[in-house]
Structures are given as structure tokens and as C-alpha cells.
Amino acid sequence: MSGTPEGTFEALRTQLREAAATFADGPGALEGILLGMVDDVDRAVREPLEVFPVCHHSPASAVAMARRLREKQPKVVYLELCEDMAPLLTELRNCRLPVAVQAYATEVDGFPADWAPLSVVAPITEASAEYQAIAYALDTPGVELVLVDRSSDHVFQWDARAEQPVSPDDPEAPPAEEEAALHGDAVGVEIGDLRPRFAELEEHLLRHGRVRHWSEWWHQYVELPLGDADHDTYRQVMFLIGSLFRRLAPGDPHRMRVDEDRERHMWTRMREHLAVTGTDPADCLYVCGAFHAASDVEEFGVHGAGTFEISPRSGTRWLHGLIPSSHTAIEAQFGLASGSVSIAATLWAKNLKRTRVKPYRLTGQAGTKKTTPGRTTPGTTPPPAPQAPTADQLTGFLRRPPVLDQLDEAELLGWSVDIVRAARRSGYLASTADAIAVFQTSILLAGMRDRAKPTPYDFQDAAVTCIEKDAVPGRRDVRRLVEIMMGGDRIGQVGYDALPPLARDVHDRLAPLNLKLQQRGVQRALLDIAGRPELEACSDVLWMLRYLMPQGAARPIMGERQLGERPIQESWDLALGTHQRALIELGYEGVGIEQVLEQRLRRRAYGPQATAAVVLEAVEDATLYLRSRRLADELGAHALDVLAGERSADGAPEVLRRVRRLLAHYRTSEPALPSWIESFVKTGYAHYCTLLPMAFGDEEATVRQVGAMLGFLFSMEGLALSLGCDRTQLELAVMQSHPQEPSKVALLWAAQVQLGRLSREELRARCDELLGSPLLLPAYPRYLSGFVHALEPVPALADFVVEAVSNAFGRLPDPVLLPWLPTLITTLRSGGADLAPLLIREAGRIFPGRLAALDEWVPPWREPSGVPRGGRTVRAGASRGVALPAAHPATCDAVATLLGWDGAWQPETAGPEGATLLARHPETAAALEVLLATARPLPGR
């Protein structure tokens, strides 16, 4: 290339100067743009280090790259890709394309904390020029592959994060499926982003090209003409396109500055490598996007004048790996039209058959054919002969009329039949007539768009017009069916050997399930743990995966994990192959799932927004999934500090629920309670006693939260008093509480009943007063709501709540009850749904079980004092003793004989004998009398 004469494009310059003078009425800006484009092409062509311009996922670029690599056989390949991703490229042979090379950072150092986690991906497909260069360099002895683009750290140093996601350029594209999210929120890095940044230019090209979106324009006017072009023509045309888009890119100046810094970075790295190795630039090949190939920065070229200082990387620790990708994910991330990458893959296969170019594939790549003996390998091909100076191929290409591709009726007819068959499988009422209509409409649309042969996009429009009706009967519409038929959404897979240690460990530990976990889709796993105890380890792994991975990766169908219980049988739906990216990213956080789970529990418990309930949840999860007493004790001790710092009752319900569950677990599974939970109960008792008066008066504190505080105080009272707490503190807190809201007033009454400061008769009288007052009657449902929530701290009031509700229904007339009833129902449903079962069970115990007994039934609260709750009267003179042993003395004699007691039956007395124990042991009663006589009275009593 160094021998290219200076006047190679002089004829083209003359023609463009005359055209500018003719169409622009004299020299000016147009002439400068046109001649500048030729200068860019001329400079790139004359560069001693051959620059090979490409476009991202372009079949024409991939074919030209494979052809040029076999002809030139460079010793060094410089590739526009993040320089820190080089170690991962050798693992591509263990994957099925498409996959994406990923750089991932969970903890940031030098970037804003809200950016974490950071992720950069570079997707690679077989129909891409970069894969051809990678496969050639890795499988050819003596060839070095050097990545020269900025590092993943510099991607975030130089680029501001986009605030708006990139949307596909097809406005009628269907909603993205789950395959579109394979890259997550990662920043995409691609080679050759060739798309006009000048909105008016893109609109002009689409309108005059009679196409709907940019992907279709590129397919029609660049891919097809360059598919059979020679090397010089391909390079010069791509240089020209890159220069055009570069010079007509007024867009964001920050983006343009970043592009220029990337070009300076790449040329600086290449010159450094050439200086260190002493390689001849003629033996090298620089693969980059056409936009960067036509660069005008000072550092351009081997003999560039400028010097560029590369800033140091930040302190962020980056991890690298491979994640599965798909055509849909690439289209969604880079704003391509839906189905364009699949169509490009189909065109790549056609170009290989037509041009007979042998592509490069990594040895051992999934889906590749084994090399037969006797074939010439790339490393043994004889060196090419020196090339003659490059001639001007650009002028002839621009003046040559487009070659009209003849209609392939057999191919179009096959498409029409296949789409009708696919539509019928998806629920459409398609027939042979629709296939004929699609065939003819495709030809008609191509003719209206000045095409002799319908493109896949023309066929797609025709299929939508002829087959799709008002509604889509199945899961996919016709547009999506055409995309699948043209090649489908190929989804890549990372092989076992390329997985991080954590992912391989998961597969090894789940091997006893005998499932193909690498496959996509849902698989059912049946675990008979009672019959095969070794499967319990698999159950532990599955429950941890369910906690760590997205919903659907591991979903339990039968079985649950609860504190203190051991599994017997479980059934799972597993989709680890579908969620392979999430499993791989877990490997960036640690070397084992236990380590990752422990780190996440710690981050959650020690986070800035952590509450006592959140920390207790982490304690429960550590006990449930990790069975780690050490971690549970550490997090439990931290829960004490968090609880002491809380100044509201927001988390009281959750704290009560989790402390009860943990207490029940430790009491049944361990000989003694952990010290942290004893301290937590003691601290919580004093803490909630302090907050109780304020919570009763706070308007923002709900009755459920205050009820949970009382529930903690009353249910933990026995343990708290045994640990040294004082019940007087609770009594003073209740006395200092003066609520105004009716539901909280009822809750306070219940607390007073529990403390013995209010009798049931007094409480019943207050409720009767509410029902009898017309002014207080509208607030009665809220009082009932407070009584319902009082069942949390005082469950013994369940019968009284049933009584209160029954009295309301029995005493209120219909004109008052019917408007009041909806408020009561909504109040109970919204505020006491979790306590409703207790009420229902109590009502079932009190009310008669049959409808016939309802007429004669008398409510227990209306019975006379001599009639007990059971409904039976007491016979006069009946013995109050235990009648059953006297009626069946043989049973008692047998038990006495078993216990070794030789006693005799006492004669039945007419009445009670009194306390015989006092007569037998009088010294105890005397000591108690002395103690009571000398005791000091309590203050205020």
C-alpha cells in the first residue's frame, strides 16, 4: 500500500469539483465535503499499515475479511476491541455463538456509587468480521492478536451514562421477549457503528431508498453490492461511507470527542507495539469500524505526528467472562431493526456458497466441521505475492448502475409456503390462497421500490399485509414468524469449560439430578430425599439458587424450606440454561454460592437503609439457607444496634413476626437461646415501652403497627421479665398513652384489659355506650378494627370481638346497619385480614353448627350468671368433684397399681371438705402470714 501514487483519485476529485460547482452554484461547503471525503479515502488507502474497515455484524465485511486474511496472512492483527478482554477470546472455542465478552464490576472505585454494578459487553457472531480475525489469529501459528481499543474502565471514564435506552429503529417492532434481555443493562461495545448521526441525512436516505428503517437500507444498498466486490473496491467504498457519516455528524460533541480519543488510543497502542516488537507494518492488519478508519486525528497512521497520553485506570476491580447472547439481544442493545441480525446470518451463508470463500472457525467450536486430512490449513498456505499499487476502484463503482438481481421464483415460493405453514401452526386461518397472495404482493412491493428481486423485508411486509388480521391468535405475530423462518433468533451458549468456577461448581453439585442443565427451557427435577439422602445437598443448592437468581431460574413446585424442618420430597422447575447469564454473573461475586449468599446478606443487613426487620430477615435467611450459626449471631447482634436507633413503629409488625419465628426455632432445636436473641428481647421490651405513648398519639402510626408493638410487649413479657425487665415500665407506658383515633382507643382498652386495669364488664359497658350514641355510632367500625388488631397482643379477646360484632348486627336497625355495613367490611378486610381466621374459628365455636338450633340458641353473653358458657344448667346438690373416676374406679385402680400406690378410696362427702392441704401443713400458712404482715406496701397502693 505504500506504493500508492499521489494522483490515484485525481480523476474523482475533478468530477466531484465539477458536480459541486454545478449543483451548488459555485464552490463552497459542498465542494469541501466532497473533496474531503476523497482525501480521507486517499489517506487511508496510502497508509503503510493496512486499515481494514468493517461494519458491525455485516456479512459483506465478514466475507471480505476471510478473503483478505487468506490472501495477506498478516503476522499481527490489531482489533478494535477493549484491550482488557484479550484473555477471554481463547474461551470462545468452548462456546456456541453468539456470545458476548463481558467485563463486570460489582464494587466501584472512582465512579459514582449509583452506577454499580458496571457491565460492558461485546457481542460476537459468526457472521462478523471480528470473529473471522479472532479465529484466524488464535488458530494460526505465529500470528499475534492485539486488542487496541480503550479498556472497559475507560468506557465509563470517557462516556457519560445514557439516560434514555436505545430503542429499535423499527417503530412497529413487537415487544421484546426474554431473549432481548440477555445482555441486561450492560453498555455495548461494537466494531463499526455505521449509521448516520445526521438525522436529516438518514431521513433522506430512507425516503429516497424507499425503505422503512436503516437496517433495510444498509442491506439493499451496501450489503448486496459489496457481497461480490473485490478487496480494493470494498475498502474504498467503506472508507467513503465512513468519511461521509463522519463529516455529516453534527450530533453530540461529547460523543465525537470520545470517538476521536478512541482513535488516538488505538493508534498509540499500535505504534507502541510496533516499536517494541519491531514488526514490519506491511505484515500487520488493522481491523476497525469504517467510521474510525477515515479518521483525521493527528495520531492517525504509523508516522502520525501527535502524541496521546492514556489516563490511568481507576481502582475498580474488573472481572471478565463470557455470557450467552442472541440475535434479539444484539438488535435491542444496538438499536437495529427486529430480525436484521437473523437476516444477516442467512445472507452470510448465501455469500459463502456464492463466493466459495472458506471462513475461519475456531478449532473445537460447537457446530463446526472437523478438518479432514490433506486440506491446507491457514498456517501452511504459501505467502502471497507482493501486490501492485492500488488503482482507483471507487470511481467505477460509483458510476456503475446497480446490477439487477433476477427473481428467484423457487426461493420466493418456498418462503410463501413456509410462512403460511408457520402461520397455521400459530393459530392463523391461512390457506394456499394466502401463499399465492404473499408471493404476488412481494413481487409487487419490490417493483414499487425499484427492485427486481424482493428482499426479506419486502417479503415480511407482504406477509403482514396478506395474513395478519385484526388480532394475533397466538404468541407471535406474522412479523416475528418471518424473522424465525429467515433464520430464527439464534441463542448462544457458554460451554462448561468457559464457565466461572461458581457456575461449574453448581453444575457439579446438581449432577445427581441427571438433567441437562445447559439446555434452554424448563426441566422438571424430582427429589425423593427420603429414599436418596444424597439429594438433600442438591436441595440446598436449589434453594440458594432460588434466593440468588431471577424468578424462574429455580422454581419450587412441591416442598418448602422452613426453620427447623427437613425436606422429604421436593419437585422443581429448573431453567438454568435460559438464565445462564445470571448464573455467570454470580461467578463474578465469589467462587461459591455460599460465599455469594453470605456477601449479599451482609450487604443487605449493613446497608444504609437497613431496618431491624431487614436484619432479622437476613438472620433468618442465614439460618434457613446457610445453616450458619456464626453469621446468624453476628447479624443478630447487629440487629440490636439497628433496633435501638429506630424512632418509629414502622417495622414493628415484621419484627414481631420474625422474632416469634426465630424464638420458636431456637427453643425447639437448641438447648439454650442464643445470647443475641435474649438481648434483643430485653432491648426490644424497653425500646417499645418507650415508643408506645408516642406511637399511640402519632397520626402516621397505623393501628396495625401499634398493635404489633403491644404484641411484642405482651408475648415476650415472660422472657423479658426473666431477663431483668420491669413490668412497671409497661404499665406506665400504657397509662401515658392518650390516643384520639377510635381504632387506637379500642386497642388501648384491650391493653388495659390485659394488664388488669379494665374489666370485661367495663369494656362491654363502653361498647354498649358507643352503640347507644347516635354521634359515636358512625365511628363504631373503626373501634371494631382496633379490637380486631388487639387480637395480636390479646388473643383472649376473640370471643369479646365476636360479641361486639354480633351486638351491632342485633341492635342496629336496617336503615342504620345497611349504610354502615360496607364500611365495616372494608375496614376488617384492609386492616385485619391476617387476624380474620382467629375470629372465624371463635365464631364457629360460639355459634351453633346447625340452622335448626339457631332459633333456640341463646348467646353466651346473655345467659344468666348461674348458667355456664356450655349452655347446661347446674343441678342443685350435684357434686363439684371429679365424677368420672368414681364412676369407673377400675381404671384408677389400674393406674395406681402401675405407679406403685397402695391407697384406698375415700367415702363420698355431701359437700366440699375445704382446703385439706392447710390442715396437713400449717407451718407454710403461718410463714406466709408473717411475710405478708411485715411486707412494705407499694407506692400509690
Q: 3-state secondary structure string, 129-179?
A: HHHHHHHHHHHCCCCEEEEEECCHHHHHHHCCCCCCCCCCCCCCCCCCCHH
Percent of the chain with pLDDT over 90: 12
pLDDT at 56: 78
For residue 52, the cross-strand partners are 287
pLDDT tens figures, 279-311: 888 899 999 888 888 777 888 888 877 778 888
pLDDT at 78: 92
Helix or strand (DSSP H, E) at 548: helix 535-548
Among 190, 156, 80, 162, smallest CA distance to 311 is for: 156
| 890 three-state secondary structure | helix
User: Cβ distance 99 to 324 under 8 Å?
Assistant: yes
Give every strand in the sheet of 319-324, ordered side by side. Answer: 187-188, 118-124, 99-105, 319-324
Q: What is the pLDDT of residue 748?
A: 92
Three-class DSSP labels, 892-931: HHHHHHHHCCCCCCCCCCCCCCCCHHHHHCHHHHHHHHHH
Minimal CA–CA distance to 140: which of 308, 382, 377?
377
The answer to whether 346 touches 119, Cβ cutoff 8 Å, is no
Q: What is the DSSP string of 337-370?
A: PTTHHHHHHHHHHHHHHHH-------TT-TTPPP
Helix ranges (DSSP H) in 646-789: 652-669, 675-697, 703-715, 717-722, 727-735, 742-755, 760-772, 780-789
- pLDDT score of 616: 92
729-784 pLDDT tens trace: 899 999 999 998 888 999 999 999 998 888 888 888 888 888 888 888 778 878 88
pLDDT for position 197: 55
Low-confidence ranges of the chain (pLDDT < 70): 1-36, 159-202, 204-205, 208-209, 248-252, 366-407, 487-489, 824, 827-828, 830-833, 863-883, 907-916, 934-941
State how far the alpha carbon of 599 is from the alpha carbons of 98, 273, 283, 595, 662, in Å.
32, 41, 50, 6, 22
What is the rounded CA–CA span in Å between residue 461 and residue 438? 9
